[in-house]
Amino acid sequence: MEEPTLPSDDYDTPWKEALTRYFPEFMAFYFPRAHAEIDWQLPHTFLEQELAQVVQDAQLGKRLVDCLVQVATRAGGEQWVYIHVEVQGQQDADFPERLFTYNYRLYDRYRRPVASLAVLADERENWKPDGFGYQLFGCEVGIRFPVVKLLDYANQSEPLLEDSNPFALVTAAHLLTRRTKGDPEQRYAAKWRLAKLLYERNWDRQRIIDLFAVIDWLMRLPTDLEQRLLQEVYTLERRVIMPYVTSAERFGVERGRQEGRQEGRQEGEAALLKRLLARRFGALPDAVQVRLSTADVDQLEEWAIKVLDAESLDEVFDQRPQ
């Protein structure tokens, strides 16, 4: 029997999503000193277009994510400052110079203090650059920047899994993705453990969905193992009575089709959709239950797709049930 193979790992997308959605937590976990000096009562703003304009002609090299964020400080004086964060995916001899270049270009543009922060997500244990500079005729120019090495957390698996900061789980997922490369069964076990941890935390609906998506993007599995894992998550959700639809419920549509072949396809589709609707919107009116029991399979499938993103029963059925 041919061994299942892992799809190509995607690090960029989940890191970008996690960083932009949970930037305060990112700063608290990796750069606690800077986090303590930021006034989080005031909004922070991501400046993607501005960063692109400043560095568009630079030699970028290979990196996972870089972003520019405007934040307010707690101290007086320069209240609005800028943070340039770069998540570097592999060793790059030009990396320190690139941060130096970005920093002085950003300062030249805004005439405000700019802090450059680096997260190194590569696999080289001894590569940890933290500055760039030169001297000429008594003149010294350069930069020193805080740097976090994800490999430094490699022996802290249990503390990471116990930490309440979401970036502890993101870090664990990143390291486990590296560690289980080429081993689908081990990755399955690691991903299932991380997924269970999400449901053990007293987190709100959106955070669980977001972090499940990050873990899902990072820890890619062959189709058969992915289906097995989503079935496990689906069962877990029912056991803990999660009052909303998560990514795992999307697989439930296909699961419903399988049940339908045993009970009658229409009955299986209707039963699954009823569970999805009740979990998302609460107790269903009698009129809705009648519509589900009398609709054909094609109509049920159309409603099942809508329930994933709808904000109300009205949006699922396009009109208020009579």
In a domain, residue 178? The reply is no
User: Where residue 82 sits, what CATH number does that domain have?
Assistant: 3.30.300
* Section 23-48 average pLDDT: 91
In a domain, residue 161? The reply is no
Residue-level pLDDT at 320: 43
Helices (H) and strands (E) in the chain, counts: 15, 7
In a domain, residue 112? The reply is yes
Whether 319 has a pLDDT exceeding 60, the answer reads no
The kind and range of the H/E element at 216 are helix 205-218
In a domain, residue 19? The reply is no
CB count within 10 Å of CB 64 equals 20
Contacts of 34-43 with CB under 8 Å at 24 or more apart are: 34/83, 34/115, 34/117, 34/146, 37/73, 37/74, 37/75, 38/71, 38/72, 38/73, 38/74, 39/71, 39/72, 39/73, 39/74, 39/79, 42/71, 42/72
pLDDT, tens digit, for every residue of 144-154?
999 999 999 98
In a domain, residue 194? The reply is no
> Which of 101, 125, 145 corresponds to the end of one domain?
145
Contacts of 175-183 with CB under 8 Å at 24 or more apart are: 175/150, 175/151, 176/219, 177/9, 177/11, 177/218, 177/219, 178/123, 180/219, 181/6, 181/9, 182/6
> Which of 145, 169, 184 corresponds to the end of one domain?
145
Whether 43 has a pLDDT exceeding 70, the answer reads yes
Residue-level pLDDT at 261: 44
In a domain, residue 221? The reply is no
Q: How many domains would you assign to the chain? A: 2
Most confident of 99-113, 204-218, 243-257: 99-113
Phi, psi of 261, rounded to the nearest 5 degrees? -70, -25
Tokens representing 300 are 């049920």
pLDDT, tens digit, for every residue of 244-258?
444 454 444 444 444
Residue 82 lies in domain: 32-145
Phi, psi of 38, rounded to the nearest 5 degrees? -95, 140
**Chain-wide mean pLDDT for the chain?**
78
In a domain, residue 257? The reply is yes
